[in-house]
Structure 1
Amino acid sequence: MSDFDAIDSLLDAVGPQAQLPPCQVRRELRERARLSKAQVARALGVSPSTLSGWESGRDPAGEARAKYAYLLDGLNAKLATDTENRAELAEQPMASDAAAAAVTSASSPEAGQDEDEVELLAVPEPCVLCGRPAEQRVAGFAQHLDPSDCQATPVETPKREPAAPSAQAHEPRRVRPPRPVGGKGAPLRGRAFQEPSGPGDLIQEAVRAALAEHQGDVEAASAALLKRAIPEAMRLLDETRKGARYDVIAHPWIPDILKKPTSKGADQIWEARPKWTRPGLPPGKHDVTALDINGAYLSALKTHLPLGQLEHSTGFAHDRRRAGVHLITPPVWEHDAVLPNPIGQRDEPGPLWVTEPTLRVLLRLSGPKHRLCEPPEIHESYTSGATENLLEKFRIALKDARDTAIAGGDELTLEYVKAMYSKFVSTMGESNYNRELYRPDWMHIIRSQAFANLWMKALKAHDGGLTVVRAMGTDELHVIGDWRRVFPEGRSVTEVKVKDTYTAGTGTEAGTGQEQ
C-alpha cells in the first residue's frame, strides 16, 4: 500500500459517526423485539455487560457503533412496520360476507381455491369465526374447511340475546393468539439462540468445543482455551449476573489515585502483599512444610466490592456498609518476630492508600478479640455502597467446575478454570486484553483480599501452636509443626496441600538457612 493509499484509508475512516437513539429508546427497542442482552451482544461481538453500558449512558465508538446503529435502525423499522400492519388489520372489519366467502372458497371445489393458500397448522389455532381449534389457515386466518365443524359448543359460546341466524353466524370475534407449546412463556420452536441450562455448562461447552476443534489434541485445546480465558470469563460473569439486583458498571469514574501516571507506572494503591520470612528460628534443626493455599484468587472473589462510582469522604469513621480505598496511617506492628505485618513490608513511614480488605484486617486485629495493634487512622476515603456477594454466583460456578475437574482427573478443565479467574482479576485494570470491565478498584480489592486471607491463615497457624516461618504472595505459607491439626489437607479451596518440605535451622543457634 502506498502512502497515498494509507492516507485515503484514513480519510475514509474519518466521517460523521452513526447516529444513535437515546439510551432508553435503545433498551425499549430491544425489549419490544423480545431480544435478550445475550442475544444482541453475541450478534454485535461484545459482552452483555458492555451492552448494558450502552443502554445506560455510554456510547460505543468506531465499528461497534456502526453495527449497533445498524441494528437499532433495523429494529425500529421492523417494529414500526409490524405496528402498521397490526393497525391495518384492526381497522379492517371482519365483514360477515368476506368471512363466509373465505370459508366457502376454502371448502368448495367450484370456487377454484388455490391449494397453496391453505396452510396446515402444526398447532391448532382458534377459528376466526367460531373460536374452536382449527388445523388450517386460509388467507391468513385460522378457519375450519368443513362448515359442519365451524360451530361453537355451549361451553365455549357465551349466552347472548337472540339474533338473526345470519348475524350470529358471522359476528366478528377477537381471536387470542395461541400460547407457546410447553406452557406459559415457553420459547418458540426454532429459536435462533438457545440459552445454556446453567453457568457451569458454559465451561464444559468451551472445553468440549476446543477438543473437537483440535481433534482431541489436549495440548492444542489447552492453548486455545487459555487464549479465550478472558472473554469466556466475562461471558460467564454475564450469565451469572442474570436477574441480579445490581448491574455491573463497566467503566465508572475513578479518582486519580487509581490511575497510572504512565503506562509502565503504578497507581497509589498499596495492596499489602506479604513477603515475610521469620527473622529467627528456635535452636535446632526443624522440618518445615511449605503449604500451598488452593484457589487463592478464587476464594478472594468473595469480598466487599463497591457497587457504583466511588465517592469521596473524610474522617476517622468506617462504614461497614461501604467499600473502597482509604488513606490511613497504619498502626505500629510489634509482632514481626512471629507474624508478618498485615500491611506487608513497607520501607517508607507515614500515610498510604490501602484497600478495604487491608483496612478491615487492621480494624479486626485492633479489636477486643485480638488486641494486636492500635486502630489505624483513617484520613480520607473513596467508597461506594458495597456487597460481599457481587461475584458470588460467578465464584461458585468456577468453584464447582474446579471441583468437578479435580474429581474426574480433568486437568484440561482445571487449568482452563484457573486461567479464567486469575486472568479475570489481573485484567480488570488498564489492560489491552479486557476492555469490557475497567474496575482497578476491584482488582486491587480482590488481590488484597487474597493477601489478607493468607495473613489470616498465618494467624490461625500461630494460634494453633505452629511456628510460622514464611508467608509469600497469596498462596505460600511455611510452618513448623503438625499442621494437619490446624488445616485440612486436600485440593479443595477450603483445604491446603504440601508444596515442599525442607530442613531449616542449626543445631546450636537460631537461623533461617535451608538445608535440603
Structure 2
Amino acid sequence: MTDFDAIDALLANARQEVPLPPAEARRPLREELNLSRTQVAQALGVSPSTVGGWEAGRDPSGEVREKYAYFLEGARARLQTRAEEEAARALASAAGSAADDGTGTDAGDSDGVDAPGEGPADEVEVLSAPRPCVLCGSPARHQVAGFPQHLDPAECAPDSPADPTNTASARSAGPAPARSAGPVVARTAGTTSAEPAEPAARSPRAVATGSRGKPVTVVPVGRRVRAASDTPDPIGQAVAEALTTHRGDTEAATAALVKRAIPDAMALLDETRKGGRYDVVAHPWIPDVLRKQTARGPDRIWEARPKWTRPELPMGPHEVTALDVNGAYLSALKTHLPIGQLEHSTGGDHDRRRSGVHLITPPAWDHEAVLPNPLGSRDEPGPLWVTEPTLRLLLRLSGPKYGLCDPPEIHESFTSGATEGLLEKFRVALKDARDRAIAEDDEVTLEYVKAMYSKFVSTMGESNYNRKLYRPDWMHLIRSQAFANLWMKAYKAYDEGLMVVRAMGTDELHVTGDWRAVFPEGRGVAEVKVKDTYTVGG
C-alpha cells in the first residue's frame, strides 16, 4: 500500500461526530420527561455523575456519544409530540364544547391515564354466553366498554327485528345508540336531531342506517362519529401513489412500499393512538435483563419459541398436513402490553392488571410425547426470564381446566400497568386492509401490510431502523404471544382428536386427521391454509 492509499483509507474511515444539543438544553430535556440522572445513566451504561458532567458542558465521545445524542433527540421528539397532542386535545375540547348539547362531557372519553383495573373499561371482552347486541339486538359474543356488540359490522343486522325483551335487557345494562324505523340524524352544532340521541357505546365500529335504509359503517372520531368512507385510508393512499409513481409496475411498487414499511407503520400507529386513554412511553428506562449482553448477542429473555417434533408415531403410514397459521404476528398484537416504565418487584404473586417479564422456575412437563413444552425447546434447567404471555400460558395450563402441570414459581418481575387493547386500533386497521387486499386479489397491498406489522414487531427493540419506538419488552411480549397462540392451536388439535406431529415457530403446525373439522381453511387471520402434505411411515 502506498502512502496515498493509506491516506485514502484514513479519509474513508473518518467520520464526523454526532452533533449534540447545547449544554444548557440537555438537562431541561431530561427533567421535562421526569427522568433522573440515574435512569439516564443506567440506560447509557455510565455513572450518574458522568451524565451530570455532560449536562454541565462536557461532551462524550465515541459510541456513548451516539447513544447520548440518540437519547436527547428522542427526548426532544417526545416532548414535541406531547405538545402537539396537547394542542390537538385542546382544539378537540373546544370543538366539543361548541357542539355540546348541555349533557356534559362523558367521563369515559377522558384521555387521562387511569390506574390499571380502575375507571371505565375500553377493551374488547369475550362473553361467556351470547348477549343481545346494543346495535342490532342479535346475539353477540363480545362486549366493548361493557356493552355487548358485534366486532365485525357484517355480523350486525340493524334492519332485523330485535326481541323486545332482549332490547330492554340491553338498555338496562347501560346507554345504547338510539334506534328508530326512520333515518338516524347525527346531532351537530346549530342543528336539531330528529330524536334525542343516546350516548353511543365506545367501539371500534358501529353500524347506523342511512336515509335510504342502506347500512352506513361509522367509526368514532373523538366525541363524534363519521362515515368510514370519509375517514383517511393511509394504506390505500400509499399503494395508489406507489403504483402511480411506478406506472403500474406491481413489482417495483411493492419493493418501494416494503422499503418504507417501518416509517409508514409508525405513522399509522400515531394516527390510531389519537384520542387513546393511555400515553405510550416510547423510550422508557429498560432493565439490564432486556439489554443485549454483547453487541450482537441476545438479551436474557426467553421467548419460548416452539421447535418440537413428536418423538414417535403409531405403526403404519400417516398422511401429515403442514398447516400455515395466517397473520401470526398480526394476531399477537392483541396482548397485554405494559404501558409505562417497568418497575421491579419480588415475590410469587401475579397481578393480572400488570404485564412485563418475570424470573421463574418453570414446572416439569410430562407430555412431551404428544404435546410440545410451552417453554419451547430448552435444555438448560433452573430459573429463567420469561414474558407475560408465557407466564400466563403456564398459569392457565396449571389451572383446574387443563391440569397439565404445576404452577411456575415466580421469583421477581419487571412490570407496569397493562392493557390488552393498546395496539387494538392499529391491529384492526392492518387487518381490515389485509382482508380487503385478499378479497380484491391485491398482492401489492398484501405484501405491504405484511411488511408493516412484521417489521414493526422486529424493529421496536434495539434497532437502527426504528428510532421512534424503543420497547424491547413489547417486542418480546408480542413474539411470545404468537408462540403461545400456536401452542393453543396445537392443544386444540390434540383435544379434538388430531395427532400433532410438529409445531414450529409462530405459524407452522403439522397434524394428521380431519383438520378441516377443527380449523377453518382460508387466508383470513382466523383461518389456516395448507403449506405441505406428506406421508410418514411404511
Q: TM-score scaled to structure 2, two decimals?
A: 0.61
Q: 2:517 aligns with which of 485, 499, 502?
A: 485
For the Cα contact (< 8 Å) 2:74–2:283, is it kept in 1? no
Q: Which amino acid aligns with 1:60?
A: E
Shift of 1:24: 13
Tell me what 1:424 maps to.
456
Distance 1:183 1:264 in 2: 58
For the Cα contact (< 8 Å) 1:294–1:493, is it kept in 2? yes
Distance 2:463 2:18 in 1: 29
Distance 2:15 2:310 in 1: 62
Q: 2:357 aligns with which of 321, 325, 328?
A: 325
- Verify: 1:212 aligned to 2:225, yes or no: no
- Verify: 1:375 aligned to 2:419, yes or no: no
- Verify: 1:362 aligned to 2:375, yes or no: no
Residue 243 to residue 11, structure 1, CA distance change in 2 (3 Å): closer
Distance 2:375 2:13 in 1: 54
Distance 1:216 1:342 in 2: 46
Q: 1:230 aligns with which of 237, 244, 262?
A: 262
Shift of 1:389: 0.3
Tell me what 1:90 maps to.
none
For the Cα contact (< 8 Å) 1:323–1:383, is it kept in 2? yes
Residue 339 to residue 11, structure 1, CA distance change in 2 (3 Å): closer
The CA RMSD measured in Å over matched residues stands at 3.4
Tell me what 1:295 maps to.
327
Q: Secondary structure at the match of 2:537?
A: strand
- Verify: 1:60 aligned to 2:92, yes or no: no
Ranges in structure 1 where 5+ consecutive residues have no aligned partner:
28-57, 76-181, 185-195, 507-516
Tell me what 2:91 maps to.
none
Q: TM-score scaled to structure 1, two decimals?
A: 0.63
Shift of 1:213: 1.1
Residue 419 to residue 502, structure 1, CA distance change in 2 (3 Å): same
Q: Deviations over 1:198-257 (max 9, x none)?
A: 776010011011111111111111111011000000000000000000112110001000
Residue 7 to residue 455, structure 1, CA distance change in 2 (3 Å): closer
Q: Identical aligned pairs, as a percentage? A: 71
Distance 2:312 2:15 in 1: 67
Tell me what 1:471 maps to.
503
Shift of 1:437: 0.2
Matches within 5 A, 1:310-321: 310-321=342-353
Q: 2:284 aligns with which of 238, 252, 274?
A: 252
Distance 1:210 1:348 in 2: 49
Matches within 5 A, 1:386-401: 386-401=418-433
Shift of 1:301: 0.2
Matches within 5 A, 1:434-513: 434-506=466-538
Distance 1:229 1:13 in 2: 28
Distance 2:345 2:440 in 1: 50
Matches within 5 A, 1:24-35: none
Distance 1:486 1:364 in 2: 22
Q: 2:316 aligns with which of 264, 284, 297?
A: 284
Q: Secondary structure at the match of 2:393?
A: helix
Distance 1:420 1:462 in 2: 33
Q: Deviations over 1:324-383 (max 9, x none)?
A: 000000000000000000000101000000000000000000000010000000000000
Distance 1:26 1:215 in 2: 48
Q: Secondary structure at the match of 2:535?
A: strand
Shift of 1:495: 0.7
Tell me what 2:294 maps to.
262
Q: Deviations over 1:244-301 (max 9, x none)?
A: 0011211000100000022211100000000000000011001100000000000000
For the Cα contact (< 8 Å) 2:74–2:468, is it kept in 1? no
Shift of 1:16: 3.6
Residue 2 to residue 229, structure 1, CA distance change in 2 (3 Å): same
Distance 2:523 2:18 in 1: 56
Shift of 1:60: 2.5
Tell me what 1:122 maps to.
none
Tell me what 2:272 maps to.
240
Indicate the structure (1 or 2) with the bigger Cα radius of gyration: 1
Ranges in structure 2 where 5+ consecutive residues have no aligned partner:
1-6, 34-70, 88-187, 191-227
Distance 1:351 1:226 in 2: 40
Residue 404 to residue 22, structure 1, CA distance change in 2 (3 Å): same
Shift of 1:183: 6.1
Distance 1:481 1:361 in 2: 26
Shift of 1:15: 8.0
Q: Which amino acid aligns with 1:445?
A: L
For the Cα contact (< 8 Å) 1:199–1:239, is it kept in 2? no
Q: Secondary structure at the match of 1:237?
A: helix
Distance 2:387 2:434 in 1: 28
Q: Which amino acid aligns with 2:73?
A: P
Residue 372 to residue 422, structure 1, CA distance change in 2 (3 Å): same
Q: Deviations over 1:88-146 (max 9, x none)?
A: xxxxxxxxxxxxxxxxxxxxxxxxxxxxxxxxxxxxxxxxxxxxxxxxxxxxxxxxxxx
Q: Secondary structure at the match of 1:420?
A: helix
How many residue pairs align between the two structures?
Answer: 353
Q: Secondary structure at the match of 1:284?
A: coil
Q: Write out the 4+ residue segments of structure 1 that deviate beyond 4 Å after TM superposition.
A: 1-15, 17-27, 196-200
Distance 1:476 1:8 in 2: 47
Q: Secondary structure at the match of 1:501?
A: strand
Q: Deviations over 1:385-439 (max 9, x none)?
A: 0000000000000000000000000000000000000000000100010011000
Distance 2:283 2:479 in 1: 19
For the Cα contact (< 8 Å) 2:304–2:374, is it kept in 1? yes
Distance 1:265 1:372 in 2: 34
Tell me what 1:341 maps to.
373
Distance 1:382 1:183 in 2: 48
Residue 8 to residue 366, structure 1, CA distance change in 2 (3 Å): closer
Distance 1:23 1:444 in 2: 29
Q: Which amino acid aligns with 1:237?
A: L
Residue 241 to residue 4, structure 1, CA distance change in 2 (3 Å): same
